[in-house]
Amino acid sequence: MNAEKTVEITGLQLIDYLELAEQFPPGTVRRLPAPTQPAGAHGEPTLVTVLLTLTAASAQVLTAWLVSRQTVKTAAATPAATAGTEGITLTISPDRSIILHMGATPSQATETGKEALVSGIQAVTSAILKEAESG
Amino acid sequence: MGYSFHPGETDLLSNATRIVAQPDEDPRPWLGAVPTVGSRQLLTFVHEATHNWCFSSAVGQAQVFIAQRAETNATLLGALWDDPDPSRDNVSLVNAFAHFGSMFRAGSMYGDKRGHFGGDLDRVRGELAALIADDLLRLEVAEAILRPLAEGLALFAEYDAVSRGASTAWSPLPSTVAWNFAGREILRAGSPVAMTLLAATRLLQDARLSRVGVDAKASVLVQPLDCSAGGYLPGYLAVKSMWRHLYGHNMRLYGESDLVLAYLRSFFYGNLELAAAIAAPPGLDLEGANRIVEAFTRRLVEFDQTTDDDVAEFERFIAQPVATRDWFTPGLLRSQEQGEAARDLLDAAYENYDRSLPMILYPDLGWHDSVGPPEQRGNLIVSSVPVTIAPDPDSGGITVSWRELPVLAVGPQDLVPVTKSVRNTPITAPAAAQLDVLLVSFATRNGLSRAAVIRKGREIVACTGWGPDPGEARNLAIEEFRSRDDKVSAANLFRWSADQALSTRPWLSQVREQTRSALPGITDELYRDTALWRARDNTAIDNCAALMHEQGMYALLGSAGAVKRMALLGLVASINSSEDFINSVFRAHGYELAAAVEETSQCWERHGFPRPVVSHEAKGIVVAAGEVDGNILIPLI
């Protein structure tokens, strides 16, 4: 049985990663290496992708962290329809709105409000944990 | 899917820009008399516009020149190479290069020149390979040592620089920001200069003091103090130190941070001696890169001698209309005679190229201007997206659709070309096309002239202009137009053909690898002392440089929250350093100003960097937002 489930969070600022890492046990948040930029490319610092190991406790912390963000605007996919699927990704776009991909393609994302995002994240994390425990 | 890349991007050689992450690129806000972009893209826009402005300079142009020269020499080397070996596969770099040369010979009206050299052919090939290597090394070294400065200036523009209503000289950024981001408000204001500057400051204030702005700046402060990691923090701290040096002479320059930005850009990117060192004819001794490092080091050291009088002289110069300015820029620690000597060196380098072997043997090689002529480098591409075009029988023009939405109606007068001799294939059915929107020569036209260019295959089929003279904007945009993808591809080709040429002489590739491995150390050494200029002493510089190598200010401050508070303090103070104002912004973010000031002091006590926040009794002192009463707070970062 492999009880470890991860959530991939893309589009983070570097400070977000450090803030998340402060809130989780060591080794729970892993920063993925940035892709090599083309020669000659200049621009703002690249955004960061992290893998977060999901446990009951970390799911709650993640939910609280996402909710605390003032500019949460969008979420995606209905949790009930996709619970238990692999490949969950949270994409945080440059204006800090959040898109939740749960095994669905980004084009299937649907916009919901902050309230729905919170319940969506909670439902997803609960479903994943349940699956992990039963596996 | 995701955003593991630069939010925006500017390519050094082509100067092609992207100001939005590609999946989100939407041309619609740019397609109208008054752009309706909104503040979401503002900070990234400022960053990329600053890159574009810096790269449209003597130093930027010199870098493009040596890339073109390396490519031309590489093409000649290919033309003088052996015939391809049919028994070997093309995966071999050298054999692929032989195929490249064979194709060039077949296509050139001057044919095969290999017999011209008799027994000297291999020597000539070896020399050409060395010249290419010299230019490639220069290009890589110049790019590496200038990258932290480029990023530092762009970050300073993004998070610090502002003009005041009473400013007499400014960079192109405030008016570009106002005219493209303030919507109709700027038109209602009747656009006197002071209103334009204040509108820009207000827009920047909103963007910088938003949560997104604070997080973005905090993310810069936690970057590695390591030039091989993009050079963001070394460059940003170095530029902040230079600003501190100038306002240390005269506090007025604290409020005139946009003027300081323009000054720093001219001081380095307008330095003709550095440009001449970059562009100097290539040599067989491969010493060109060292000359560039020496020229840049000299300039960096010289900055210590600048005073507020120099900035004032520069300020008077740029306050004149562009059309009436002399070529020589005063106030940059160079006399006119010194400027002329450097300009002669630069001209000699360009003329030397016209007499070089490729030009003699294959005059049809000419200039490889596939990234566009210098004038085109100043065009700032704000959007580039695939579209479909369809004829509009009612108007006689075309309709442009993006993601199946009609976004632009082009009248017949905007169809291209309108020259008498050439006429494009008429648009009779829907077709795929590319739409590029550009701010035409944005730095000299203050972002006022905009054009949408629609291209089908290689043909420009339409162009619509906006601004004070839409017809002129349109004509300037389509003259030798290159789309963003074309520009970047052409720039990549420079590097590709020169890389191929180097594969013919393995020892040159080894020299290049050795240079590459030494570069991070050289660049770190160049920037370290300027970045940490205001540290307590040399021991503090050494210790902080070591501590900050991986996580920047995070290693000194110890928490993400403390870094965010430091970021916010600098952001607010650069707009308005009144303690009352800073306090109100801190409260709005849920932070305690006193705690942030104390954290900075403790950091100074512990590490000797950055300096504690300076508090002044400031009755009547004029800072960015105007005259201030009461205390002002001046943080270093």
pLDDT of residue A118 exceeding 80, the answer is no
Q: Calculate the alpha carbon distances from B89 to A101, B75, B105, B506 in Å.
A: 45, 21, 20, 19
Residues B384, B435: contact at Cβ < 8 Å? yes
Among A10, A13, A14, the residue to mutate for chain B (most B Cβ within 10 A)? A14
Whether the link from the prior residue into B417 is cis, omega within 30° of 0, is yes
Q: Please report the beta strands in B100-192, taking only residues with DSSP state E, as ranges in sequence order.
A: none
B317: exposed, middle or buried (C-beta count within 10 Å: 0-12, 13-18, 19+)? middle
B498 or B46, which is more confident? B46
pLDDT of residue A122: 65
* B277 C-beta neighbours (distance < 10 Å), count: 27
DSSP H/E element including B477: helix B470-478
Rounded alpha-carbon distances, angstroms, from residue B73 to A38, B63, B227, B357: 23, 16, 31, 8
For B385-421, the pLDDT digits (tens) are 999 999 999 999 999 999 999 999 999 999 986 444 4
- Please report, to the nearest 10 degrees, the dihedral formed by the alpha carbons of residues B559, B565, B568, B573 taken in order: -130
Chain A contact set for B150 (CB, 8 A): 42
The proportion of chain B whose per-residue pLDDT surpasses 90, expressed as a percent, equals 70
Could you tell me the two tokens for B352? 């030397």
Q: Do B230 and A45 touch (CB under 8 A)?
A: yes
Q: What is the pLDDT of residue A93?
A: 66
Q: Is the pLDDT of residue A26 over 80?
A: yes
Cβ(B551)–Cβ(B541) below 8 Å: no
**φ and ψ at B621, to 5 degrees?**
-70, 135
Q: What are the φ and ψ backbone dihedral angles of B418, each rounded to 5 degrees?
A: -110, 10
Which of A72-81, B389-398, B549-558 comes out lowest in average pLDDT?
A72-81
pLDDT reading at A82 higher than 50: no
B90: pLDDT strictly greater than 80? no
Q: Which residues of A touch B21 (CB under 8 A)?
A: 93-94
Closest listed residue to residue B353, CA positions, set B25, B36, B62: B62
3-class DSSP assignment, residue B63: helix
CA distance B151 to chain A (A): 7
What is the number of other CB atoms lying within 10 angstroms of the CB of residue B449?
25
Number of other CB atoms surrounding residue B61 within 10 Å = 19
Task: Give residue B600's pLDDT.
Answer: 95
Least confident segment among A32-36, B171-175, B402-406: A32-36
Classify residue B392 by burial, with Cβ atoms within 10 Å: 0-12, 13-18, 19+: middle
- Using 50, 70 and 90 to split pLDDT, how confident is the model at B423? low
Question: Is the pLDDT reported for residue B614 higher than 70?
Answer: yes
- pLDDT digit string (tens) for B453-494? 999 988 899 999 999 899 999 999 998 888 888 888 888 887
Rank B232-241, B285-294, B468-477, B491-500 by mean pLDDT and report only the highest: B232-241
Query: Which of the residue ranges B165-169, B214-218, B230-234, B625-629 would you say has the lowest mean pLDDT?
Result: B625-629
Which token pair is B504?
């013919």
CB distance B223–A14 less than 8 Å? Answer: yes
What Rg, from alpha-carbon coordinates, does chain B have?
A: 26
Quick check: B3 and A38 CB within 8 A?
no
Between chains, do B559 and A45 touch, taking CB under 8 Å as contact? Answer: no
Sheet of B9-11, strand order? A41-42, B9-11, B17-18
Q: Do B21 and A37 touch (CB under 8 A)?
A: no
Mutation to test the B interface, candidates A37, A42, A50, A90, most B Cβ within 10 Å: A42
Q: Please, what is the average pLDDT of chain A?
A: 68
- Nearest one of B505, B486, B522, B485 to B140, comparing CA atoms: B522
DSSP code of residue B305: G
The owner of tokens 């334009």 is B196
Element (H, E) at B626: strand B626-628
Tell me if A41 and B11 make a contact (CB, 8 A cut-off). yes
User: DSSP class of residue B415?
Assistant: B
Alpha-carbon distance B253 to nearest alpha carbon in chain A (angstroms)? 26
Out of B4, B147, B216, name the one closest to residue A46 (CB): B4
pLDDT in the model for residue A100: 60
CB contact under 8 A, B212 and A71: yes
* Pairwise CB contact (< 8 Å): B21 & A14: no
Can you tell me the distance from the alpha carbon of B410 to that of B435, in angstroms, rounded to the nearest whole number?
A: 12
What's CA B275's distance to the chain center, in Å? 16
Which token pair is B634? 């001046």
Q: How confident is the model at residue B124 (pLDDT cuts 50, 70, 90)?
A: very high
The partner residue sitting opposite B150, judged by closest CB among A16, A39, A42, is A42
What is the average pLDDT across B436-460? 91
What integer is the mean pLDDT of B604-625?
79
Please, is A120 exposed, middle or buried when counting C-beta atoms within 10 Å of its C-beta (0-12, 13-18, 19+)? Answer: buried
d(CA B387, CA B390): 10
At A29 the pLDDT is: 93
pLDDT at A109 over 60: no
Task: Quote the CA–CA distance of B400 and B434 in Å, as a whole number.
Answer: 10
Q: State CA A129 to chain mean position distance.
A: 15
Joined together, the tokens standing for residue B283 give: 């040599």
Closest CA to B354 of B72, B86, B122, B166: B72
Residue tagged 């590739």 (tokens): B509
Supply the pLDDT for residue B424: 61
* Mean predicted confidence (pLDDT) in B356-383: 79
Given a cut of 80, whether residue B160 has pLDDT beyond it is yes
| Percentage of residues of chain B with pLDDT beyond 70 | 93
Task: List, in sequence order, every beta strand (DSSP E) within B339-494.
Answer: 380-392, 397-402, 405-410, 431-439, 450-456, 459-466
Q: Do B9 and A42 touch (CB under 8 A)?
A: yes
* Range in A39-53, B177-191, B441-455 the model is least confident about: B177-191
Report phi then psi at B60, rounded to 5.
Answer: -65, -45
Tokens 């210590």 locate to B304
Measure the CA–CA gap between B589 and B565, rounded to whole angstroms. Answer: 9
Cis peptide bond prior to B610, omega within 30° of 0: yes
Contact B139, B392 (CB under 8 A): no
CB contact under 8 A, B8 and A43: yes
Does A114 have pLDDT greater than 70? Answer: no
- Asked if B451 and B440 touch (Cβ cutoff 8 Å), the reply is yes
Instruction: Look at residue A30 and give its three-state secondary structure.
Output: strand
Q: Which of B21, B44, B211 sits opposite A71 (nearest CB)?
A: B211
Say what the pLDDT of residue A110 is.
42
Q: For residue B324, what is the DSSP state?
A: G
- Contact at CB, B9 and A43, closer than 8 angstroms: yes
**Which helix (H) or strand (E) element contains residue B631?**
strand B631-634
Instruction: Return all residues near B483 (Cβ < 8 A) that are at least 6 apart.
Output: B384, B434, B436, B453, B455
Write the CA distances from B581 to B210, B572, B621, integer angstroms.
15, 8, 15
Residue count of chain A, please give it: 135
For position B482, what pLDDT does the model report? 85
Q: How far is A42 from chain B (nearest CA, A)?
A: 5
**Closest in A13, A35, A38 to B219, CB measured:** A13
At position B188, the amino acid (one-letter code) is R
Whether the predicted pLDDT of A73 surpasses 90: no
Are residues B495 and A39, on separate chains, in Cβ contact within 8 Å?
yes
pTM: 0.92
Asked whether B159 and B525 are in contact (CB, 8 A), the reply is no
* Ranges assigned E (strand) in chain A: 5-12, 29-31, 41-42, 48-54, 88-92, 98-102
- Backbone phi, psi, residue A93, to 5°: -80, 165
Find the mean pLDDT for residues A31-35.
88
Measured between alpha carbons, how far is B443 from B170 in angstroms, rounded to an integer?
11
Nearest by CB to residue B143, choosing from A35, A37, A40, is A40
End-to-end CA distance of chain A: 6
CA-nearest of B53, B58, B134, B13 to B346 is B58
- Complex confidence, ipTM: 0.91
Lowest-pLDDT range of A82-86, B300-304, B361-365, B545-549: A82-86
Which of B26, B140, B147, B215 should be substituted to probe chain A, the one whose Cβ sees the most A Cβ atoms within 10 Å? B215
The answer to which of B29-33, B296-300, B616-620 has the lowest mean pLDDT is: B616-620
Start-to-end CA span in chain B (Å): 34
Three-state SS annotation for B148-163 = HHHHHHHHHHHHCCCC
